[in-house]
Structure 1
């Protein structure tokens, strides 16, 4: 049976403007600049630079637009309001806007971009030094194309043979493909084209000048690879009946090899993105001074031409349908520009207020740079101080950087949980991790400290921490287990 009923309920919904503001707050400086450029392209009513004798609230777009439903009653010659005179001057010939008062010495010279040869192109060019038939070259080029950026071929020979047949129409057998793969193994950098780490290391060792250490290293990798990776050095000493110095020399040869031969190729390295700090903290006369990066505070204003277009329409007594459509577009762009300017202002205020609270909360650290002085701090602490939501503080902290006298830091690195020491005082987990890292760096690498021993040492230092917590912190610091830290 169908029935109708009324139900009242309260719910929160974010407006599109609020959502856009949150997105702007989350953007770091470079991404924010890109977003600003996109908005400038999309909205011609938005302009950059200082305004001349103009106050931002001069125009009001809320009136004189209630009569749009009366289009049919309005009659006016469109020529009376010429919107085109306010639009861009794209039709002005280029020669009228060009200056010709520059000498040859003033020519704008730019550095040409380098066009490096890619990793795979380099390998293909090296194939020219080998005498190959057309069929063998096709197989060799396909194998080169199967090499990943780290220099490995991650596929089996049968899979490669099938793939060549189905995708390239190259019909061959596994024996021929294996033979051509040995040609690939002769290319530089040595180790390229290996199917696993063991083969990669062997290929590099075989390219080295034969010495006692190299020969021993080759035998270890070829026949005792598992024992080597697990650092069972006692087993290796007994197996080969050698001294520790001999084993150490062989291990040194292995450690000098490159486990990722393709990764070292110059043009294969990804472009390094420079971090642009959103804030700067300086110490002036013993006091902290916070500034917002000027690139986060652009000078924006609403186009004066567009306001004049709107005012011209308001001043006219009669309005045609065509003119109303054009001015409705203008009003929309003006409103959008005004909102975007307000959103940028709110973004600046939110960023500054949030970072200012963090700076004062961690004042002791920012004054001398000692990470041990970082206080326990969670998002809620800052949110309560400034009266903003935790999610807003998170958006600021997760993607913003601050330039300090001790380097450029990611803001979220200042946040940490609290733990109590043996005195009952709250200490930051960052401080505990720093102490743990120091203890491990000073240990005897011939007998690395297991996690339970590390827990005992930290307990003696006044930090009662469980072994599983030590393991968690060690993993967060990217420090391997004791057995893998062992050195002979």
Structure 2
């Protein structure tokens, strides 16, 4: 049985303006400039640059009032206002997106200039005289080289893949033979199947000296001892002095464990960071400024407001004029919303960063990370009376130029712990002290995590060994055995 009934419910929905603002706040400077450029291209009612003497508020506002008071009556009599006013339930960006097909979009794909790593290797292959089947195998091997310069595949798998995908039937011996040719290419070490082979390939190209020969012997016969830094076992096994071992280790440490990463023509994305804020110390006081690229001068086009005025004053209103006025009104609304959103974005960014700067004032004045105070998103959100998500949007993608370098804002946030005096300190402070302690240790006898925990406790930071291990890993520092030097 079918029946109809009415249900009443309350729900909260974000307006198009709020959605637009949230998206703008999240954008870093470069992405914001691209979004601004996109809006300028899509909305001809939006103009950049300084306005003429009369401001937008006076010019557009007065005409808009006049238009609302007098012109609306004329338009409403002939045009359904709802047809061209934005619907709060449907954001304008959805409406505009649906007006274009995929074919109408002008898509531009940025390409990296230069030669890719694999192309660089293929070009070198052309200098070798190879049989037709060897050439196919060599091309396949070059295609299997990853961005680090390794071929991380078993020879048997390569044989099978050549048969199935290239219709080339060969043997493991033939693959090994061609692989030697690939491994002769530059940069040295390319085409290795593991770290040991990569280092050996590089050493074999060096001028043979006592230390190079010893380094090759160590990698061939005692790679596990070397990788685990069992120096005493190496001294006993090869019956050598500490100076000889030190020289061999120096030769190995000068090698590149990722030869592919050294290729300058690699087509990797390179991220350029543009600071969104700048903090300077002026007469002992902190001074915060917002990057000018985040504060463009925008205003509504006078031509468009004049068009509305002309429509109001015309006596005979054709259908094409009515269609035009709906288009104009929509673009003016969108332009005004965008300008308001830009201003709110500027205000939000500045207020949020200002609160962070004053919270971490000691750090910004000294540059000492041990001066960083515990700070979580809620601390700043409560201080500026905004939502935690808004602060998160600012912190996660924005950079600030400080006297001590360009920093990601979220790096200033950290949890707290209590020291032996009952004071709350930042975990970043503890990590910094841990890093300093490790850097100052005797590398011949590096401190274990247990000993590091005791040292930190003596300095007033009672933390457990497992916490020391966690912080050490976060600092990308190895365990004591791997920090040992001879």
Say whether the 8 Å CA contact 2:374–2:414 is kept in structure 1: yes
- Cα offset for 1:142? 2.2
Partner residue in 2 for 1:55: 56
Partner residue in 2 for 1:17: 17
- Cα offset for 1:478? 0.9
- Cα offset for 1:363? 1.8
Say whether the 8 Å CA contact 2:47–2:299 is kept in structure 1: yes
Say whether the 8 Å CA contact 2:112–2:267 is kept in structure 1: no
Partner residue in 1 for 2:86: none
Partner residue in 2 for 1:411: 409
Say whether the 8 Å CA contact 2:219–2:226 is kept in structure 1: yes
Partner residue in 1 for 2:454: 456
* Cα distance change on mapping 1:429 and 1:163 into 2, 3 Å: same
Q: How does 1:228-267 map to 2 (within 5 A)?
A: 228-267=226-265
SS at 2:265 equivalent: helix
Aligned partners of 1:195 and 1:10: how far apart in 2?
63
Residue 331 (str. 1) matches residue 329 (str. 2) = yes
Residue 67 (str. 1) matches residue 77 (str. 2) = yes
Aligned partners of 1:233 and 1:382: how far apart in 2?
51
Aligned-residue CA RMSD in angstroms? Answer: 2.3
Partner residue in 2 for 1:41: 41
2:282 to 263, 281, 284: 284
Residue 191 (str. 1) matches residue 192 (str. 2) = no
Partner residue in 1 for 2:100: none
- Cα offset for 1:174? 2.4
- Cα offset for 1:214? 2.5
SS at 2:288 equivalent: strand
- Cα offset for 1:456? 0.6
CA offset digits 1:405-463 (Å, max 9, x no partner): 22222111111112111111111112111111110001111111111111110110111
- Cα offset for 1:385? 0.9
Partner residue in 1 for 2:442: 444
2:201 to 193, 200, 203: 203
Aligned partners of 1:297 and 1:210: how far apart in 2?
61
Say whether the 8 Å CA contact 1:263–1:269 is kept in structure 2: no
SS at 1:51 equivalent: coil
Aligned partners of 2:242 and 2:397: how far apart in 1?
49
* Cα distance change on mapping 1:2 and 1:464 into 2, 3 Å: farther
Partner residue in 1 for 2:90: none
- Cα offset for 1:69? 5.2
Aligned partners of 1:241 and 1:2: how far apart in 2?
94
Partner residue in 1 for 2:215: 217
Aligned partners of 1:487 and 1:269: how far apart in 2?
36
Partner residue in 2 for 1:482: 480
* Cα distance change on mapping 1:286 and 1:247 into 2, 3 Å: closer
Say whether the 8 Å CA contact 1:154–1:196 is kept in structure 2: yes
- Cα offset for 1:403? 1.6
* Cα distance change on mapping 1:336 and 1:477 into 2, 3 Å: same
Unaligned 5+ segments in structure 1 are 72-112
Partner residue in 2 for 1:101: none
- Cα offset for 1:332? 0.6
Aligned partners of 2:458 and 2:2: how far apart in 1?
73
Alignment size in residue pairs:
447
- Cα offset for 1:346? 0.4
- Cα offset for 1:43? 0.7
- Cα offset for 1:234? 2.6
- Cα offset for 1:220? 2.3
CA offset digits 1:289-326 (Å, max 9, x no partner): 21111110100011111111111112233433222112
Partner residue in 1 for 2:353: 355
Aligned partners of 1:430 and 1:382: how far apart in 2?
18
Partner residue in 2 for 1:296: 294
* Cα distance change on mapping 1:452 and 1:59 into 2, 3 Å: farther
Q: Please say which of residues 336-345 and 244-253 is displaced more in the overlay.
A: 244-253
Q: How does 1:324-403 map to 2 (within 5 A)?
A: 324-403=322-401
Say whether the 8 Å CA contact 1:43–1:337 is kept in structure 2: yes
Partner residue in 2 for 1:97: none
Unaligned 5+ segments in structure 2 are 82-110
Aligned partners of 1:59 and 1:202: how far apart in 2?
79
Q: How does 1:104-115 map to 2 (within 5 A)?
A: none
Q: Please say which of residues 285-294 and 439-448 is displaced more in the overlay.
A: 285-294
- Cα offset for 1:343? 0.3
Aligned partners of 1:475 and 1:115: how far apart in 2?
37
Aligned partners of 1:68 and 1:222: how far apart in 2?
90
- Cα offset for 1:32? 0.3
Partner residue in 2 for 1:119: 117
SS at 2:391 equivalent: helix
